Structures are given as structure tokens and as C-alpha cells.
């Protein structure tokens, strides 16, 4: 343990101790008058840490995230104030939030943060239970080929039928799951469920040769088992890999461009196609697109629903076609939108105009889409 004097409003003893991990340090300071005093100390620590340092002739800067907890926690009754173990736990909760909100931040652990973190822990436990108890369900939304309106694909979309809470949309749990390997487990469940559904349709003579799009997380794409996770359920169910389209967001691709390109090329060699989902909302450049085995660009609904973005939409369509990709316009809700996107060269259309997502048993494709 190192002891050092760190300036402030009068004498203060600051103990620095590496305790929580290889890159995490505990700072114990006393006396600290109140939250404002603690925050002032934390800000000066950030400034001091940010001072450039020389290392082998190279000038380096260090950033830090700080989580604070106080022994005299003014947000709690005296009888409930924390001991040493609880203080370390609370500081760890606060630094976790500081990191999740962005670097070089300061967060104080209070009752609201404790409640938030306990809620996250409850959600994580519930998601593990959902996987074990098969509480997830897949909805499917049609993708059509204009102008005749024939069915050209289905996108599989996960929902959670959570006990005592009802149907939970993906926006309420997928972002949380993406912070950990929970998202990989969920992706694996979706891949298996799609394979089983295709096998069931094949046995019933329904939706034969209709490709199914599956959303895959960037964390899963980056895992060593990704290829096996995609191929194993297809092989086990005897499904033609050409029935599968993998959808990846732009940001997921850019995390490891070379690794993503290699894995997607391997999938392509098996017959699986790749789509960039919500295209236009990320930072993919033309150079990136040229280096990736991309088969489909899906234009985000924020563009297809904005008439002022028509020039950008036309640019995306033209660029995609030059690269040999087909274009799917998402978020189509009116015939006017459908006619406009078709005239601009969109190859496929998807949106409420052609059907809302629904479970497989409720999927009744109109005659003109069949």
C-alpha cells in the first residue's frame, strides 16, 4: 500500500492500493466533508492521471474512470451506512457505470444506482432462466420482391414471453444482453430455433426455398466458435445453408474488419449470404464494403421514411448495385413509399405494409406475396 498527500481543502490522507484488478485501484481518502468534496478530489485525480508521461521516448496519456462510495453516505440512514466490504462493492458498481457511460467519468454510488444494478442482476438471472425454460419465441416478418409482390424471404425476430410480465420486445433486453456473452447464448438459441422451424416447414411443404434472415451480434461474430455456432444447427437439422442470411450491423463489422471478412467469406463458401442491417446509420466506407463479402444492404427505416433523404437513399442503392449487392428497403408502411423505393431501384421491400412480425403459426402470407 502506498500513502501519499494529495492537495485539497486542508490536510488529507490518501491511500492508494491496487486491489480490485490488474488495472483497478482503490483510493481511500480522509477526511472528506461531503459529496462535493469527494467529487472535487476525484476530478483532480483525473487531471493528474491525464498528465502525459514519457515511456521509452514515447509520450503517453492515461485516462481513468472513477466510481465513488462514501462511508458517511448522506443518502442513507445512519443505521444503514456501509462497512468496508459494502463500500468496495458500491465503488465497483459506480466505476462500472462510469465505464459504461464513457471514459474519464466520475460516478457516485447512491440508492438509485444500487437499485439499477440490482435490477440488472435480476434481468441477467431472468435471461438465463429464459434460455433454460425456453421462454423466447421467434416472430417472422415477410420480405417481398417488387413489383409483383412475391415472397422473397422472412426475417426472424426474437421476442421474450417473460412470466408475469408478458411479451417483452427485443429493445428491452437485447442491449443489456449485448454487454456480455449472454447475447452469444441468445444468438445460439435463435440459430437453433430457426433451423427447427425450417425443418418443420419443409416437412409440411410450406415456405420451401424461402430464405430466413437471422440477426447476429458483433460479440458473437467476434467469437472463436462463430462459424460452428452457425453451421452446427443447420447440419443437425439437415437444412440447406442457402436458406440462411446472416444480418450484421455496420458497427459490428468495423470492430474487427479483417476477422469479420474472413468468417463471412467462410460462411459464403457454404452458401450462407450476409446482409448489413440498418445500413446508413454507421460508418462503413466504400473501402470497407469492397473488402467484405456482402450480399445485401438493408436501408434503415429512418431513411426510407424521410423524403428529404431521397438523394442519400438513391446513392446507397446505386453504390450497393455497383458492388454487386442487392438492396432491401426497411420500414415500408405505405404504397407510396413502396412505389418510390421500387422506382429508385430497391430489389426487396420490408415493412408493415406487407405484414407485421408474428409467430410462425400466425404467419399467413397473402396470395399476392406467396
The closest alpha carbon to 2, from 25, 22, 31, 33, belongs to 25
Euclidean distance between CA atoms 164 and 135, whole angstroms: 12
Q: Which positions ≥6 away from 329 have C-beta within 8 Å?
A: 298, 299, 304, 313, 337, 341, 346, 348, 349, 350, 351
Question: How many residues are given for the chain?
Answer: 370
Distances (CA, A) of 259 to 93, 195, 217, 254, 256: 33, 25, 14, 10, 5
Contact (Cβ atoms closer than 8 angstroms) between residue 164 and residue 223: no
For residue 17, what pLDDT is reported? 53
Lowest-pLDDT range of 170-179, 203-212, 273-282? 273-282
- pLDDT greater than 60 at residue 20: no
DSSP state of 370: -
Count of CB atoms situated within 10 Å of the CB of 365: 18
Q: What is the mean pLDDT of the chain?
A: 85
- pLDDT greater than 60 at residue 15: no
Euclidean distance between CA atoms 362 and 34, whole angstroms: 59
Euclidean distance between CA atoms 296 and 277, whole angstroms: 9
For residue 211, what pLDDT is reported? 97
- Is the C-alpha dihedral spanning 233, 234, 239, 244 positive or negative? positive
The predicted model gives 159-171 an average pLDDT of 93
The closest alpha carbon to 62, from 82, 80, 47, belongs to 47
Distances (CA, A) of 263 to 149, 239, 270, 273: 33, 20, 11, 12
Greatest C-alpha distance within the chain: 81
**Using one digit for the tens of pLDDT, what is the confidence trace for 175-232?**
889 988 999 999 999 999 999 999 999 999 999 999 999 999 999 999 999 999 999 9
Could you tell me which residues are beta bridge partners of residue 161?
Answer: 167
Distances (CA, A) of 186 to 191, 236, 246: 9, 18, 15
**Using one digit for the tens of pLDDT, what is the confidence trace for 230-261?**
999 999 999 999 999 999 987 777 778 889 99
Of all residues in the chain, the percent with pLDDT exceeding 70 is 87
Q: Which H or E run includes 91?
A: helix 84-101
CA angle 111, 112, 118 (to 5 degrees): 85
**Using one digit for the tens of pLDDT, what is the confidence trace for 302-323?**
888 888 889 989 998 998 999 8
User: Judging by beta carbons within 10 Å of its beta carbon (0-12, 13-18, 19+), is residue 26 exposed, middle or buried?
Assistant: middle
- pLDDT greater than 50 at residue 7: no
Please, which pLDDT band fits residue 44 given cuts at 50, 70 and 90?
Answer: confident
Helices marked H in 102-157 — which ranges? 111-133
The predicted model gives 330-344 an average pLDDT of 95
**Using one digit for the tens of pLDDT, what is the confidence trace for 86-121?**
788 787 778 877 877 777 788 888 888 878 777 888
Q: Which H or E run includes 2?
A: strand 2-5
Euclidean distance between CA atoms 90 and 184, whole angstroms: 28
Count of CB atoms situated within 10 Å of the CB of 262: 12
The closest alpha carbon to 245, from 200, 297, 204, belongs to 297
Amino acid at each position: 500500500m502506498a500513502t501519499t498527500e494529495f492537495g485539497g481543502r486542508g490536510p488529507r490522507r490518501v491511500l492508494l492500493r491496487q486491489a480490485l484488478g490488474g488495472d483497478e485501484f482503490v483510493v481511500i481518502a480522509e477526511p472528506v466533508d461531503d459529496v462535493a468534496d469527494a467529487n472535487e478530489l476525484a476530478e483532480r485525480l483525473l487531471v493528474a492521471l491525464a498528465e502525459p508521461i514519457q515511456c521509452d521516448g514515447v509520450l503517453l496519456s492515461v485516462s481513468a474512470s472513477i466510481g465513488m462510495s462514501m462511508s458517511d453516505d448522506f443518502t442513507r440512514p445512519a443505521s444503514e451506512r456501509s462497512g468496508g466490504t459494502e463500500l468496495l462493492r458500491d465503488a465497483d458498481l459506480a466505476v462500472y457505470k462510469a465505464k459504461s457511460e464513457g471514459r474519464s467519468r466520475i460516478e457516485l454510488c447512491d440508492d438509485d444506482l444500487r437499485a439499477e444494478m440490482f435490477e440488472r442482476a435480476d434481468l441477467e438471472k431472468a435471461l438465463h432462466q429464459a434460455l433454460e425454460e425456453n421462454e423466447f419465441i421467434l416472430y417472422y416478418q415477410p420480405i417481398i420482391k417488387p413489383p409483383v409482390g412475391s415472397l422473397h424471404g422472412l426475417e426472424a425476430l426474437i421476442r421474450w414471453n417473460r412470466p408475469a410480465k408478458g411479451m417483452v420486445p427485443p429493445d428491452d433486453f437485447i442491449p443489456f444482453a449485448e454487454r456480455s456473452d449472454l447475447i452469444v447464448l441468445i444468438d445460439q438459441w435463435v440459430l437453433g430455433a430457426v433451423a427447427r422451424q425450417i425443418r418443420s416447414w419443409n416437412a409440411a411443404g410450406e415456405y420451401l426455398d424461402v430464405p430466413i434472415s437471422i440477426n447476429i451480434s458483433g460479440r458473437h461474430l467476434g467469437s472463436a466458435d462463430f462459424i460452428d455456432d452457425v453451421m452446427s444447427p443447420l447440419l443437425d437439422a439437415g437444412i440447406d445453408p442457402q436458406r440462411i442470411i446472416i444480418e450484421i450491423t455496420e458497427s459490428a463489422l468495423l470492430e474487427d474488419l479483417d476477422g469479420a471478412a474472413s468468417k463471412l467469406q467462410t460462411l459464403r463458401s457454404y452458401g450462407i449470404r450476409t446482409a448489413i442491417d440498418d445500413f446508413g446509420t454507421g460508418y462503413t466506407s466504400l473501402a470497407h464494403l469492397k473488402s467484405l463479402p456482402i450480399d445485401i444492404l438493408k436501408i434503415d427505416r429512418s431513411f426510407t421514411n424521410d423524403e428529404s433523404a431521397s438523394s442519400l437513399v438513391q446513392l446507397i442503392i446505386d453504390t450497393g448495385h455497383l458492388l454487386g449487392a442487392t438492396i432491401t428497403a426497411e420500414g415500408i408502411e405505405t404504397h407510396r413509399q413502396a412505389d418510390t423505393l421500387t422506382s429508385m431501384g430497391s430489389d426487396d421491400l420490408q415493412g408493415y405494409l406487407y405484414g407485421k412480425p408474428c409467430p410462425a403459426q400466425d404467419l399467413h402470407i397473402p396470395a399476392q406475396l406467396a
